[in-house]
């Protein structure tokens, strides 16, 4: 597991969004105005309007926003949802392009996930994301999800179309 600060030392995505709220399109303002299903704490904030190249790597802590039922199927469903967060935008980072730029269009081609061990979504989980390839209007990302103790509980991969609208 990568060495990163614990979630208690980080600001939540909701707190960060308040600082750029005035820049967000109205459809995203609505999304950040309600209580989200996940509490998300990025290790580093990447602006959706980014103009400077960055390494194609992200680390994000997340957990359910509230108590979860004991049914493991529900935990698997929420982790499947969470696995899509911060994923394809990671492949834009080396290009200095933010996923909220008005001419950018992103669509998932495929997304696969493997559950390796039992886990609880109401515990903090670390999502380690990297994009080894982004070219020819395609972005490829892979991620590993760990418990706080460093146990790998799931892996995910995704490929998407990323292009400028015409």
CATH of the domain at 72: 3.10.129.10
Domain presence at residue 31: yes
Note the pLDDT of residue 32. Answer: 58
133 has which bridge partners?
140
Note the pLDDT of residue 158. Answer: 96
Edge-to-edge order in the sheet of strand 57-64? 38-42, 57-64, 125-135, 138-147, 152-164, 104-115
Domain presence at residue 35: yes
* Residue 109 and residue 58 in contact, taking contact as beta carbons nearer than 8 Å: no
Domain presence at residue 2: no
Domain presence at residue 49: yes
**Dihedral, CA atoms, 143, 148, 150, 154, nearest 10 degrees?**
-40
Range of the domain at 83: 7-164
Active site residues: 84, 108, 158
Domain presence at residue 111: yes
pLDDT by residue for the chain (166 residues), tens only, comes to 999 999 999 988 878 777 777 777 676 666 655 667 899 999 998 777 667 888 999 999 999 999 999 999 999 999 999 999 888 889 888 888 777 777 888 889 999 999 999 999 999 999 999 999 988 889 999 999 999 999 999 999 999 998 888 7
Cα-based distances in Å from 139 to 83, 87, 112, 119, 134: 16, 10, 14, 29, 4
Domain presence at residue 154: yes
- How many domains does one find in the chain? 1
Domain presence at residue 119: yes
Domain presence at residue 143: yes
């Amino acid at each position: 597991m990568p060495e990163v600060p614990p979630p208690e030392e980080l600001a939540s995505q909701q707190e960060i969004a308040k600082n750029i709220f005035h820049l967000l399109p109205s459809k995203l303002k609505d999304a950040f105005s309600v209580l989200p299903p996940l509490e998300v704490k990025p290790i580093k904030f990447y602006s959706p309007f980014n103009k400077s190249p960055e390494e194609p790597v992200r680390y994000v802590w997340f957990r359910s926003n509230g108590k979860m039922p004991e049914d493991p199927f529900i935990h698997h469903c929420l982790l499947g949802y969470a696995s899509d967060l911060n994923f394809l935008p990671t492949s834009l980072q080396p290009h200095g392009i933010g996923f909220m730029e008005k001419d950018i269009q992103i669509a998932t081609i495929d997304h696969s996930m493997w559950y390796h061990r039992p886990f609880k979504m109401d515990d903090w989980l670390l999502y380690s994301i990297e994009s080894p390839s982004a070219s020819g209007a395609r972005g490829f990302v892979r991620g590993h999800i760990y418990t706080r103790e460093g146990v790998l509980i799931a892996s995910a991969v995704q490929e998407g179309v990323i292009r400028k609208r015409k």
